[in-house]
Amino acid sequence: MRKSRIVTVFMLISIMFTSLLFANGQSEESTTADKLFTIGMSQCNLGEPWRVQMNADVKSEADKYDNIKVIYKDAQNDTLKQRSHVEEFVSAEVDLLIISPKEAQPLTGPVSAAMAAGIPVIVLDRAVIGDDYTQFIGADNVIIGKAAGEWVVETFGGKGAKVVELMGLQTSPPGQDRHNGFREAIKGSDVEVIFEADVKWLEPNARKEMESALSRFDDIDLVYGHNDPAAHGAYLAAKAAGREGDIQFIGIDALPHEGVAYVKDGILNATFQYPTGGNIAIQQALKILAGETVEKNITLGSRLFTTDNVDTGGVELK
C-alpha cells in the first residue's frame, strides 16, 4: 500500500516534470529570440560621404543585436547592378530587405518581386513608385526644398537674387522634390533661377556646370545645391574664378564632417540636414521580423545650420 503510494507520487512528479520541460521547449520554438535573421542592405553607391554614413548608421545599430546579420551590397551608382543585387537577395531568401534605390522607376519592379516572394522591404531615403513595400523611411524633401527657397527669399529681403540651381538626379524623387519645393517657395518673389543643371548628386559634375554658369553670367548671387557636395563643387569653381566672395552657397545633408564643417569654415552659408535613417531602419526591421505591424511611412525631421547658428547646433525645421 505504502509502496504503491510512493510509486504514484513519483510518477506524478515525473509527469509534471516532463510536461514542464515540454512546455518550455514549445515556447522556445515559438519565439524568435534565438533565430538569426539575415537582412540584405542594398545601397545605391558608397562614393558619397552621406551614403557611407548611412551604412555606418545601419551597422552601429545592427551591432547592438546578436540575432541579426546584415549583408551589404554596393551598386556603385549603377541601376542595373542594384537591380541584380535585389534579385540576388531574393534568391538567397534573406529575411528582410533594406534598399536605398538609385532611381525610382527601375527599382520598383525588383522591390515588388521581393514583396511577392514574402520578403518584407524597407525603402530608405529615395522612394520607389507606388506603395508595394513594407515601409518607407525618409525626410520630406519638398519641405526641405521649400525651406531652402524661403531662406533665400528672406536672406535677400526683397532685393531679389540671381540663383544657380544644381539639381540632384532628376530620376530620383529627392531631386524632383527638392526642385519642386524650392520653386514653389520662390514663386512670386524677386528670386530668379538663371541657370539650372542636373548634376546627378555629384561634386565633379557640379563644379563643371558652375564653370559654365560663371562664364555665362557676371552676376550670380547664390548657388542652391541639392546636396552639400554640389554646393561645394560650385564653391570650388567660383573660387578658381576668384568670384567666391560675391556668391552665397547653400546645400543639403549637413553631415557633421561635411556640410556643417563647410558652414563653420565659411564655405557654405547654410545647409539643411537630411538624416540617413539608417539606425531607424534597423529598429523598424526588428519590429517587422518580430511580426509587428509598422507604420507605412516614417518621416524624419530636419535642421537648418547657418553661419549664425552653427555653433549652437542649428535650428529644427518646422
Choose the stretch contacting ligand FRU; rule: CB under 6 A; options: 14-22, 48-56, 265-273, 292-300. Answer: 48-56
| 125 lies in the binding site for ligand FRU (CB under 6 A) | yes
Q: What angle do CA 41, 198, 154 make, to 5 degrees?
A: 100
Alpha-carbon gap, residue 48 to 260, rounded angstroms: 16
Distance of closest approach, residue 256 Cβ to ligand FRU, in angstroms: 14
Distance of closest approach, residue 88 Cβ to ligand FRU, in angstroms: 21
CB nearer to ligand FRU: give 51 or 83: 51
Does residue 183 contact residue 149 with C-beta atoms inside 8 Å?
yes
| 252 lies in the binding site for ligand FRU (CB under 6 A) | yes
Give the one residue of 42, 48, 221, 267 binding ligand FRU; rule: CB under 6 A: 48
CB nearer to ligand FRU: give 52 or 289: 52
| 50 lies in the binding site for ligand FRU (CB under 6 A) | yes
CB nearer to ligand FRU: give 37 or 136: 136
Helix axes 228-240, 203-216, angle to 10 degrees: 50
| 55 lies in the binding site for ligand FRU (CB under 6 A) | no
Strands of the chain (E only): list them: 37-43, 68-74, 96-100, 121-124, 135-139, 161-167, 191-198, 222-225, 248-253, 270-273, 297-300, 303-306, 315-316
Site for ligand FRU in 151-180 (CB under 6 A): 168, 172, 174
Site for ligand FRU in 265-304 (CB under 6 A): 274
Give the one residue of 40, 41, 51, 271 binding ligand FRU; rule: CB under 6 A: 51
Does residue 103 contact residue 172 with C-beta atoms inside 8 Å?
yes
Alpha-carbon gap, residue 146 to 186, rounded angstroms: 8
| 201 lies in the binding site for ligand FRU (CB under 6 A) | yes
Alpha-carbon gap, residue 9 to 6, rounded angstroms: 5
Does residue 175 contact residue 235 with C-beta atoms inside 8 Å?
no
Does residue 206 contact residue 234 with C-beta atoms inside 8 Å?
yes
Distance of closest approach, residue 276 Cβ to ligand FRU, in angstroms: 9
| 232 lies in the binding site for ligand FRU (CB under 6 A) | no
# residues contacting ligand FRU (CB under 6 A): 13
Residues 6+ apart with CB under 8 A from 158: 190
CB nearer to ligand FRU: give 95 or 176: 176
Give the one residue of 55, 82, 227, 279 binding ligand FRU; rule: CB under 6 A: 227
| 103 lies in the binding site for ligand FRU (CB under 6 A) | no
List residues binding ligand FRU (CB under 6 A).
Answer: 48, 50-51, 125-126, 168, 172, 174, 201, 227, 252-253, 274
